[in-house]
């Protein structure tokens, strides 16, 4: 994972992030947006493009980010979870909804 220690840190928007569909902020490839604004857009708007951009900024690629999600879920005992993207839209093999909490 890449260190993001400054509030002013910026992420460069990739073509993949810029082309995410449905809920999107409408970013353009090459645009630079602060991590702080990406987090806000992801939390408030649920923007898929900002989720992908954050994953790329944190882990270098969305694939590396989902690998980290899978490893973390496994450590938490959520062995049936399988992440395929950063935003949670349905994709073949994407199974975060398989998590069942037992109290």
Q: What is the pLDDT of residues 42-51, one digit of tens each?
A: 899 888 899 9
**How far is Cα of residue 1 from the mean position of the Cα atoms in its chain?**
13
Name which of 3, 17, 6 is nearest 61 in CA terms: 17
Model pTM?
0.78
3-class secondary structure, 8 = coil
Could you tell me the residue ranges of all domains in the chain?
Answer: 10-98
Looking at domain 10-98, its CATH architecture is 3-Layer(aba) Sandwich (3.40)
Q: Is 91 exposed, middle or buried (0-12, 13-18, 19+ CB in 10 A)?
A: exposed
Contact yes or no for 67/45 (Cβ under 8 A) = no
* Beta pairing partners, 34: 10
Contact yes or no for 58/12 (Cβ under 8 A) = no
Q: What is the pLDDT of residues 29-71, one digit of tens each?
A: 999 999 999 999 989 988 889 999 999 999 999 999 999 998 9
In sequence order, the 6+-apart residues with CB closer than 8 A to the CB of 36 are: 7, 8
Name which of 45, 99, 44, 37 is nearest 72 in CA terms: 99
């Amino acid at each position: 994972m890449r260190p993001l220690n400054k509030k002013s840190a910026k992420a460069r928007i990739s073509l993949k992030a810029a082309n995410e569909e449905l809920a999107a902020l409408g970013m353009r490839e090459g645009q630079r947006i602060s991590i702080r604004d990406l987090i806000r857009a992801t939390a408030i708007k649920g923007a898929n493009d900002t989720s992908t951009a954050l994953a790329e900024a944190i882990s270098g690629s969305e694939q590396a980010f989902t690998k980290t999600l899978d490893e973390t879920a496994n450590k938490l005992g959520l062995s049936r979870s399988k992440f395929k993207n950063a935003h949670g839209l349905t994709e073949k093999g994407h199974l975060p909804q398989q998590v069942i909490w037992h109290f």
